[in-house]
């Protein structure tokens, strides 16, 4: 590292120190603390005695302008509360602190718990320090190295939220009215009317089959209204259809006895929205917008 790099590094650590010490916006605080921990900035600063800080915790607890000024357990809790919106930095901060305890324990020839009790009475830090001491590669690399190496943990895509939540209830003849009350509380008057109509329908079996096709078509239509679109060709619904929702009572299925597919027209009160080509097995083969 060149002399100029040394100066730049010292200036960066001092800037991070000022941000940490002053507090301010949580995002700026977390960014500064994360960078400060990454370069072990406490080793580059001096305490009141003119000596380098022995550990991250000593820097955190030291009074300004030398340290961050977050004293005692309340101070550490406050920092971790600030970092709660940035789990990666919080994770790394905890590991840096635990690593310091582990290093101090090795220097003194005692356990991390003894150092923790003597220095800070920090039980959580001692436990993590002990874990790092016993299995440093697994614990450190799994938790903290992801931040050092700028590796974002891949988060699973959120599960799609259905427009209607399922109603979980069971019916017993001795609780008929309780069951009716649950239905009334869970359904709108229009939905109740539709349910009663369905129960009394002589074509109930056929409507169940139609409902299966309708829901598959509705899923495809909703995906076409999203930015990613539907299917391999990423079919996008016209802008004018974004706020329109088909109704099962208005949508119709046209069966094609000679071919291997059917056509389902999804409709709302204002008319047809999309024609969905369905396979006999129930898969969606295509969408056609007027």
Structure confidence by residue, pLDDT tens digits, 92-134: 888 888 888 888 888 888 888 888 888 877 877 888 788 777 7
Model pLDDT for residues 219-261, shown as the tens digit of each residue: 999 989 988 888 888 899 998 898 899 998 899 988 776 777 8
181-191 average pLDDT score: 84
Highest-pLDDT range among 139-148, 151-160, 252-261: 252-261
Please give the mean pLDDT across all residues of the chain.
81
Cβ–Cβ under 8 Å, residues 132 and 98: yes
Model pLDDT for residues 30-76, shown as the tens digit of each residue: 889 989 988 899 999 998 888 989 889 899 989 999 999 988 778 88
Per-residue pLDDT band at 186 (split at 50, 70, 90): confident
Q: Is 265 helix (H, G, I), strand (E, B) or coil?
A: strand
> Looking at residue 1, what is its pLDDT?
43
Starting from the edge strand earliest in sequence, which strands make up the sheet with 252-254, in order?
Answer: 252-254, 261-268, 271-279, 284-288
Measured CA to CA, the distance from residue 86 to residue 98 in angstroms comes to 19
Measured CA to CA, the distance from residue 147 to residue 93 in angstroms comes to 10
150-171 average pLDDT score: 54
Measured CA to CA, the distance from residue 180 to residue 152 in angstroms comes to 50
User: What is the crossing angle of helices 87-108 and 123-134, to 10°?
Assistant: 80
> Looking at residue 146, what is its pLDDT?
54
What pTM does this model have? 0.47
Q: Give percent of the chain above pLDDT 90.
A: 15
Model pLDDT for residues 260-286, shown as the tens digit of each residue: 788 899 999 999 999 999 887 778 889
> Looking at residue 2, what is its pLDDT?
45
> Looking at residue 168, what is its pLDDT?
63
Q: What is the CA radius of gyration of the chain?
A: 31
Selected residue with higher pLDDT from 3 and 74? 74
Cβ–Cβ under 8 Å, residues 44 and 13: yes
Does residue 201 surpass a pLDDT of 50? yes
> Looking at residue 149, what is its pLDDT?
55
DSSP string for 243-262: T----TTT-EEE--SSSSEE
Residue carrying the six token digits 């969606």: 284
Per-residue pLDDT band at 139 (split at 50, 70, 90): low
Run of H or E residues at 49: none
Measured CA to CA, the distance from residue 16 to residue 26 in angstroms comes to 13
Phi, psi of 264 (to 5 degrees): -115, 120
Largest distance between two CA atoms of the chain: 92
């Amino acid at each position: 590292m060149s002399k100029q790099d040394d100066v730049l590094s010292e200036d960066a650590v001092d800037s991070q120190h000022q941000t940490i010490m002053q507090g301010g916006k949580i995002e700026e605080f977390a960014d500064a603390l994360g960078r400060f921990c990454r370069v072990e900035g406490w080793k580059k600063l001096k305490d009141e005695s003119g000596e380098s800080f022995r550990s991250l915790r000593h820097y955190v607890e030291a009074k300004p302008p030398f340290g961050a000024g977050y004293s005692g357990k309340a101070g550490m809790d406050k920092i971790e509360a600030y970092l709660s919106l940035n789990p990666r930095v919080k994770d790394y901060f905890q590991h840096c602190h635990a690593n310091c305890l582990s290093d101090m324990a090795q220097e003194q020839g005692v356990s991390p718990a003894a150092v923790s009790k003597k220095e800070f009475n920090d039980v959580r830090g001692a436990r993590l320090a002990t874990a790092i001491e016993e299995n440093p590669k697994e614990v450190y690399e799994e938790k903290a190295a992801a931040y050092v190496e700028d590796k974002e943990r891949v988060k699973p895509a959120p599960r799609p939220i259905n427009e209607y939540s399922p109603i979980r209830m069971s019916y017993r003849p001795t609780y008929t009215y309780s069951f009716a009350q649950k239905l009334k509380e869970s359904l709108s008057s229009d939905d109740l009317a539709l349910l009663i109509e369905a129960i009394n329908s002589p074509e109930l079996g056929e409507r169940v089959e139609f409902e299966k096709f309708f829901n598959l078509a509705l899923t495809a239509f909703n995906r076409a209204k999203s930015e990613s679109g539907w299917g391999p060709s990423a079919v996008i619904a016209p802008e004018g259809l974004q706020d329109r929702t088909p109704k099962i009572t208005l949508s119709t299925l046209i069966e094609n006895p000679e071919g291997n597919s059917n056509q389902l027209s999804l409709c709302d009160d204002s008319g047809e929205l999309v024609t969905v080509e369905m396979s006999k097995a129930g898969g969606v083969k295509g969408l056609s917008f007027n």
